[in-house]
Structure 1
């Protein structure tokens, strides 16, 4: 039997993120050598990457990175299979490294990001695959947002105190106002709007809402003459649900988000909201 200690197992777990039994087995195979066990786990991990492709990755973390001058920011989601891995330092270090890479390279889309080099001779996709191998779970990078130009801020929300942030919001204002940026980002976290303004809502989506509103009104037996006004009222209600500027502000429901921004003398240029697995 290989000669190793509990401290060796602990060290191997810290180095690789692998489970205790996997670490013990690797140490047995490597005759107690931690270095040999690391290599063995990496080899087995790489072999398992393809096998894990069909598995579900619904846990993970959202990370953010804001520049010192607050004129640019990144929001990035990295997914894994279990919350055990999600709250580990190694997984979060990978997520933060990927966010820093986005900040430095400004990729146009996820395909460009995955094909870019994060280290000499290593693409982001290879970097993610390496994390997949080392952590022993399916690791997925398929969403990020990056804003540059105005005043950028982020708000990160933890659904559980022992987990990393599961919801992240990035906002860009036309001028600096930290308090309003935080308030609006918190509002977006809670109310999950889909669009900034009415112009962003696809025409076919609006027409579908109008058809549903009319059909519902007729089913309810509303007077024919009143239908146009009723339908428009319901469509306006739809806008208040999905358009952030028209939503009732979380901290003061008597005001719209637009009203709060107007009173502060700032404009919300854009926002991004990412919730892990959704």
Structure 2
């Protein structure tokens, strides 16, 4: 019997938007390896949907804190949206963000051990969870260092606290455009700043996948190199910030917007509740 659970099956279906039978068959073929099953589904022509990939039953909020030379984002998660907008939960998130930023933490593990008024953040969360009556966890921490920062917190629902947070570190004087870039990142979720930041193994894996897809489509062997490079470039335009089409004007790339405004992005972080 393949080594996967119903939860694995459900999660992969939600991520890729694939049918029950196809998803189960891929997991069986991959012997429960979710990453391999994802590749199998892609190669068979299964097309994911970005909105489905972002689905999650997790709730919570994103909080930011800026200090000299850095900006910190935290994701504090809970079970229901009712608690996410509860005053006690929001106050807890502020306490946690203060402690995590003061400690200079850059991961959830570091954040949990940070001091919060004589107790660790982990202890404070545990105590409040008992009071509120839901499981609460510091799921993620992101820290960006730089000279100037643009922070954008987005509410996916007007009734809830921010569920997407972006911090952009930049050099330059155009704060308005820097904030617009932060809003762009919130919308388009780039994984890397420049093409040079994409790890070699990620590019190699993508090249392997698009090569097999192209061959399966019956493309002429002589035309494959050009087709593959084209698809790799398309991939980079999806995952690399400066290569993406700008949210406010899809006819230009982000790198042109930055150049025209005299900005250089030196780093960024994006957190989304449950993602």
Q: Per the shorter chain, which TM-score range?
A: 0.7 to 0.9
RMSD: 1.6
* Residue matched to 2:43: none
* Residue matched to 1:14: none
Asked if 1:265 is matched to 2:252, the reply is no
Asked if 1:99 is matched to 2:93, the reply is no
SS of alignment partner, residue 209 of structure 1: helix
Paired residue for 1:113, among 111, 114, 120?
111
Correspondence 1:65-80 to 2 at 5 A? 65-67=65-67, 71-80=69-78
Distance in 1 of aligned mates of 2:79 and 2:213: 42
Distance in 2 of aligned mates of 1:196 and 1:125: 32
Give the CA deviation at 1:57. 7.4
Correspondence 1:122-161 to 2 at 5 A? 122-161=119-158
Give the CA deviation at 1:268. 0.8
Give the CA deviation at 1:108. 4.4
* Residue matched to 2:220: 223
Asked if 1:274 is matched to 2:271, the reply is yes
Give the CA deviation at 1:175. 2.7
* Residue matched to 1:177: 174
Distance in 1 of aligned mates of 2:111 and 2:63: 16
Listed one character per residue, the Cα deviations across residues 244-271 of structure 1 (whole Å, up to 9, x for unaligned) are 1100000011111111001111111111
The runs of at least 4 consecutive aligned structure 1 residues that moved more than 6 Å come to none
Larger radius of gyration: 1
Distance in 2 of aligned mates of 1:261 and 1:272: 17
* Residue matched to 1:214: 211
SS of alignment partner, residue 229 of structure 1: helix
Distance in 1 of aligned mates of 2:239 and 2:137: 28
SS of alignment partner, residue 135 of structure 2: coil
Which shows bigger deviation, 211-220 or 163-172? Answer: 211-220
Residues 272 and 228 from structure 1, CA distance in 2 versus in 1: closer, same or farther, beyond 3 angstroms? same
Which shows bigger deviation, 251-260 or 169-178? Answer: 169-178
Distance in 1 of aligned mates of 2:57 and 2:93: 15
Kept after mapping to 1: 8 A contact 2:174/2:262: no
Give the CA deviation at 1:126. 0.3
TM-score, length-scaled by structure 2: 0.76
| Number of aligned residue pairs | 220
Give the CA deviation at 1:102. 2.1
Distance in 2 of aligned mates of 1:118 and 1:179: 34
Structure 2: segments with no counterpart, 5+ residues: 1-55
Kept after mapping to 2: 8 A contact 1:150/1:175: no
Correspondence 1:176-255 to 2 at 5 A? 176-255=173-252
Kept after mapping to 2: 8 A contact 1:187/1:250: yes
Distance in 2 of aligned mates of 1:235 and 1:108: 31
Listed one character per residue, the Cα deviations across residues 133-175 of structure 1 (whole Å, up to 9, x for unaligned) are 1111000002111223321121011111110011111111023
